[in-house]
Amino acid sequence: MLTDKPWHRSTSSFSESLITTRLMRSSNGAQSTIPISEYFGELTFGLGQMREKLPKDIYHNLVKALDQGKKLTSETAEAIATVIKEWAVQKGVTHFCHWFQPMTGLTAEKHDAFISIQHSNHSELTVIERFTGGQLIQGEPDASSFPSGGMRSTFEARGYTAWDPSSPIFIIDGDHGKTLCIPCVFFGYHGEALDNKTPLLRSCQTLSYEAVEFLKCIGDLDAKTITATLGPEQEYFLIDKNHANARPDIIMTGRTLQGASAPRGQQLEDHYFGSIPARAKAFMVDLEYELYRLGVPVKTRHNEVAPSQFELAPIFENVNIAADHNTLTMETMKRVAGRHGLVCLINEKPFAGINGSGKHCNWSISNDKGENLLDPGTTPHQNLRFLAVMSIVLQAVNRHADVLRAAIASPGNDHRLGGNEAPPAIISVFLGSMLDNIFNSIEKGEANQATEAQIINLGVGHIPNISKDYTDRNRTSPFAFTGNKFEFRAVGSSANVSVPVSILNAAVAESFRDATTRLKDLLAKKKNRDEAIMELVRSLTVEHKYIRFEGNNYSEEWKKEATKRGLPILNTTAEALEVLHNDKATEFLVTTKVLTRAEIESRYHIAVERYNKTLEIELRSLSELASVFIVPALETQIRDSGKTLAVLKTAGAKTLQSKRLESMEASLEAILKYHSALIVGLDALSSKGDEAQMMKVIATELTPLAAQLRQVCDEVERCVSDALWPLPKYREILFMNNQA
């Protein structure tokens, strides 16, 4: 029988009443589900509702301001605020907040009540609901404790939030009242970006501008704006709250820092796409209900590869909205999990020995007509455009593979990248054999006429159908073409997608700009436009051929091959972040207007500091686990085993028991040794001078030391009596309470 531990009780507190709001009883008493369309977006107020509710001229002013990137006049803002307030108050909202994404990687909100005091004649105070245009469009949170990477000295520590009207306003319907959230950008006194949204919006603008210039050049004269689209697939773990609460490492860091592998992990491959356990399903249904009301178009849910691991995928949207929605999704997941007695782990590597979690960022670009430019299409012109845009994206990844790698660097993702479960730290692009062959023939000059017949011969038109079936299969690639979009798979599960996506947008924008210049040159020399485009495609194909890789990204040969090709191999966050210091990266980010020099430098500092702080918390948590949980259990076991040895009679048993004791003593010694070295190292960190130096010491000295400490602790878990073991084990966390 298993020892009875406090965490064995399931905290499942899920009650059917949580979901009955979505059920209606028909006249014969049978229950049926309310169609999603009836409550989808009911907690949001976006451009659609504004068009409906605002006076025509006010709505027109808003759209004009949006299109031209101009400020709203105070009358317009006032009129909008009034309509929003009416809608919100009628929904039972009492407070509003500017909702923004500072560089902590989380979101921030500061709530203010919708009230204003009025003095009546008899100097009595009356409270009225009030929300002004000024409150809608701008805020000034006390921002001195948000990271700025040294950009704001204390005397200008002010930060400002400004409404981003392109993303819908929404209501958080919490357990204790409702709050109106206004999506905002966050910036400093001199306009410097202090958040993740501002660079994303800037990158969208540059991308749209450069792509339109290129499209005009290839004959798409009516192109006005280009939109980047994103569908982020979110992976996560669900574990019982009792298990989480009994593990100081999970409480402190969101991941386990110790834990021997359970005899069963994911080797039976029985979890992936398996039937969803009832408890997880109840969580998902509840989560989806919340998300639908917030206008988040969640579409897919399934089990992932590891036990207790799951995935959620939305329908793709404009990247800015998709990024807000993903942040909102992560927050809602945590909130809803709590209600179900569960904890949702979004960390990239909550458990050793089984898969970690990623966030595959499906990305594409489309024109005003909604045509996906990465969709080969049906006409020869669309096919040629497809080839051109494809080679432009390939060129972008080829040029800025290192910055893309830096954009996904985080302590959590360091555990994934390069492990045989997730893409490697080397960025390459997988196209699928069909498209790969097409680019190979183009490179060899087998299709340089760009005639209709030749394009058809290349087989571009068949790609959507064929790649739907085949291209998705290379799960080892960090950046894979999957039929009509790219899938950036190396992004970590806890990432704010704005960071990698703004870099990707910027890289593609730069590549469009370069392609436009080259195409203009070619057009100046040749008469036939299609031939000029084909020649551009061919020259790009030659240049970016080294970024293409169709093989197994996990193999050792690939690492050698990538080294030969000169691709950047940046295994750790510490190495990847240094990219932000090189001239090529700086020039690229500055000329695409995504970040200024000062902003790049500040982001570097913030990332380094976050790395150091995260790692310091992890290392201190591990040392605590070792010294106050594991060592005492081991001491008791040694004592008990010693007593047993004293009463043993047979020589064979005595010898074996002595050996067992010796090995436990050796483990105790090793733990004490590594533990004290780790503490000495941690205590010496602050004397290292700058943060970059600290990062180096953590990455190259302390982390390997911690790995040794953990390994001994894991071995000890296998020899100490289960009754004495003070922490929930992997087999309990991953296989109990969640699996029914």
Give 200 or 361: the residue with its C-beta nearer to Mg ion: 361
Q: How far is the CB of 340 from Mg ion (least distance, A)?
A: 23
Residues 6+ apart with CB under 8 A from 76: 58, 61, 62, 65, 133
Residue 715 interacts with, from Mg ion, ligand ADP, none (CB under 5-8 Å by kind): none
Please give the distance of CA 121 from its chain centroid, rounded to a whole number.
55
Give 347 or 586: the residue with its C-beta nearer to Mg ion: 347
- The one segment of 225-233, 363-371, 375-383, 655-663 that binds Mg ion by CB under 5 A: 225-233
Q: How far is the CB of 267 from ligand ADP (least distance, A)?
A: 25
Asked whether the beta carbons of 177 and 94 are under 8 A apart, the reply is yes
Residues 6+ apart with CB under 8 A from 483: 463, 464, 467, 468, 471, 472
**Whole-angstrom Cα distance, residue 16 to residue 14?**
7
Q: How far is the CB of 254 from Mg ion (least distance, A)?
A: 21
Residue 341 interacts with, from Mg ion, ligand ADP, none (CB under 5-8 Å by kind): none
Residue 76 interacts with, from ligand ADP, Mg ion, none (CB under 5-8 Å by kind): none
**Whole-angstrom Cα distance, residue 64 to residue 85?**
22
Residue whose Cβ sits closest to Mg ion: 233
Q: How far is the CB of 303 from Mg ion (least distance, A)?
A: 11
Q: How far is the CB of 311 from Mg ion (least distance, A)?
A: 6
Instruction: Indicate the Cα dihedral angle 235, 240, 336, 178, nearest 10°.
Output: -140
The pair of structure tokens assigned to 379 is 């006409």
- The one segment of 226-234, 321-329, 503-511, 692-700 that binds Mg ion by CB under 5 A: 226-234
The interface mask with Mg ion, positions 229-268, x = CB under 5 A, is ----x-----------------------------------
Residue 313 interacts with, from Mg ion, ligand ADP, none (CB under 5-8 Å by kind): ligand ADP
Residue 395 interacts with, from ligand ADP, Mg ion, none (CB under 5-8 Å by kind): none
- The one segment of 6-14, 159-167, 208-216, 228-236 that binds Mg ion by CB under 5 A: 228-236
Residue 362 interacts with, from Mg ion, ligand ADP, none (CB under 5-8 Å by kind): ligand ADP
**Whole-angstrom Cα distance, residue 216 to residue 661?**
78
Q: How far is the CB of 489 from ligand ADP (least distance, A)?
A: 10
Q: How far is the CB of 484 from ligand ADP (least distance, A)?
A: 6
**Whole-angstrom Cα distance, residue 349 to residue 237?**
10
Give 319 or 608: the residue with its C-beta nearer to ligand ADP: 319
* Closest CA relative to residue 42, chosen from 165, 163, 166, 171: 171
SS3 content of the chain, % helix, strand, coil (to 5): 50, 15, 35
Residues 6+ apart with CB under 8 A from 682: 616, 619, 620, 623, 702
Q: How far is the CB of 480 from ligand ADP (least distance, A)?
A: 9
**DSSP letter (8 states) at residue 702:** I
**Whole-angstrom Cα distance, residue 265 to residue 271?**
10
Give 347 or 482: the residue with its C-beta nearer to ligand ADP: 482
Q: How far is the CB of 113 from Mg ion (least distance, A)?
A: 42
The burial of 408, by beta-carbon neighbours within 10 Å (0-12 exposed, 13-18 middle, 19 or more buried), is given as buried
How many residues bind Mg ion, per CB under 5 A? 1
Residue 316 interacts with, from ligand ADP, Mg ion, none (CB under 5-8 Å by kind): ligand ADP
Residue 418 interacts with, from ligand ADP, Mg ion, none (CB under 5-8 Å by kind): none
Q: How far is the CB of 487 from Mg ion (least distance, A)?
A: 8
Please give the distance of CA 105 from its chain centroid, rounded to a whole number.
10
Give 233 or 249: the residue with its C-beta nearer to Mg ion: 233
| Phi, psi values for residue 446, rounded to 5° | -75, -15
**DSSP letter (8 states) at residue 1:** -
* Closest CA relative to residue 695, chosen from 621, 605, 583, 622: 605
**Whole-angstrom Cα distance, residue 572 to residue 417?**
9
* Closest CA relative to residue 589, chosen from 492, 509, 707, 532: 509
Q: How far is the CB of 461 from ligand ADP (least distance, A)?
A: 18
Give 165 or 231: the residue with its C-beta nearer to ligand ADP: 231
Asked whether the beta carbons of 356 and 350 are under 8 A apart, the reply is yes
Considering only CA atoms, give the Rg of the chain: 28
Q: How far is the CB of 233 from Mg ion (least distance, A)?
A: 5
Residue 483 interacts with, from Mg ion, ligand ADP, none (CB under 5-8 Å by kind): ligand ADP
Residue 482 interacts with, from Mg ion, ligand ADP, none (CB under 5-8 Å by kind): ligand ADP
Residue 701 interacts with, from ligand ADP, Mg ion, none (CB under 5-8 Å by kind): none
Residue whose Cβ sits closest to ligand ADP: 231
Give 183 or 231: the residue with its C-beta nearer to ligand ADP: 231
Q: Which residue has the tokens 């005009």?
A: 216
Q: Binders of Mg ion among 79-138, rule CB under 5 A?
A: none
Binding site for ligand ADP (CB under 6 A): 229-231, 233, 313-316, 362-364, 372, 472, 482-485
Contacts with Mg ion by CB under 5 A lie at 233
